Amino acid sequence: AQSVTQLGSHVSVSEGALVLLRCNYSSSVPPYLFWYVQYPNQGLQLLLKYTTGATLVKGINGFEAEFKKSETSFHLTKPSAHMSDAAEYFCAVRETGTYKYIFGTGTRLKVLA
Amino acid sequence: EPEVTQTPSHQVTQMGQEVILRCVPISNHLYFYWYRQILGQKVEFLVSFYNNEISEKSEIFDDQFSVERPDGSNFTLKIRSTKLEDSAMYFCASNRGTSGNEQFFGPGTRLTVL
C-alpha cells in the first residue's frame, strides 16, 4: 500500500536560510506527488506537483521539489526563507488508478527573525 | 479565481446527533472528495464521488457516513449519529478528474462533538 513519510514534524529556520522539508513515499507504481501548504485556520493550498516529465518542479512562492525515484523522495526546498513561509506543509501521493490522496503527517515550519 | 467553499466553518453538536457538512465545489469539476484531519494528525481520505455515485471510500467511511450531491452545485457529507471521535476538521475537495490534475481544497469545517 502507498504511504508517505515526512521526517521532522517541526522544522525551524532563520529568515533567509535554506528551507528543506523531507518527504519519502512508498508506491508500487509511478506516483503523482504533491506538496500542499496550510496556513492557520485555512484550507490546503497546492504548492507544486509532480506527474510526469521533468523531475525538478517549481511551484509558487519560490518553492521547488525534486522527484528522485531511486531514493523514493520528493523533498521540498526554498533557497531563502521568509517570515510568511511559516505554516504547515503536507506531502501527498496519488497512485495511478486511484484518485485518493495519501498525506504525510505534515511538517510545521517556523521561521525565526 | 474559483474556489471550493464549505459551510459552516465550525459546527458543534451533541453525541448521537446527525450533522450535515456542506460544500460547493468548483463549478466545472467532476470529482468530489471528503477528507478529515483529527487535531494533530494527518489528513485522511474519506470518500470520492463521481457521476452521482461513490467511486472510492476508505475504511473510515462506514455506514454512519453518507454523501450526496443534491443539486448541481452542492456536495454534502452526512454523519448520522456522531461520536466523540468524529471531532475533526473536514475538508472538501474537487478536481476535473484528468490525469495528474490536482485537487482543490476548501477551507474546512471544524466539527466538535460533545
Each residue's pLDDT tens digit, B31-78: 999 999 998 888 999 999 999 999 999 999 999 999 999 888 899 999
Contact B45 A100 (CB under 8 A): yes
- For an interface test with A, the pick among B31, B102, B104, B110 (most A C-beta atoms closer than 10 Å) comes out as B102
C-alpha A65/C-alpha A92 separation (Å) is: 13
Cell 526546498 sits on residue: A77
Strands (E), chain B: 5-7, 10-13, 19-24, 31-37, 43-50, 53-57, 65-68, 75-79, 88-95, 104-105, 109-113
* Any B CB within 8 A of A53 CB: no
Provide the 3-class DSSP secondary structure of residue A83. Answer: helix
pLDDT at position B97: 74
Per DSSP, the three-state class of A61 is helix
Report the alpha-carbon distance of residue B90 to residue A37 in Å, rounded: 16
Closest-CA residue in chain A for B4? Answer: A43
Facing residue for A46 by CB, picked from B43, B45, B102: B102
Nearest-angstrom CA–CA distance, A101 and A76: 18
Distance CA A40, CA A52 (A): 31
Question: B85-88, long-range: CB within 8 Å, 24+ apart, which pairs?
Answer: B85/B38, B85/B113, B86/B111, B86/B113, B87/B38, B87/B39, B87/B111, B87/B112, B87/B113, B88/B36, B88/B37, B88/B38, B88/B39
Judge: A34–B44 Cβ closer than 8 Å, yes or no. Answer: no
- Encode pLDDT of A44-68 as tens digits: 899 999 988 888 999 999 999 999 9
C-alpha cell at B55: 467511486
Question: Whole-number mean pLDDT of chain B?
Answer: 93
Instruction: Kindly calculate the radius of gyration of chain B based on its CA atoms and give it in whole angstroms.
Output: 13
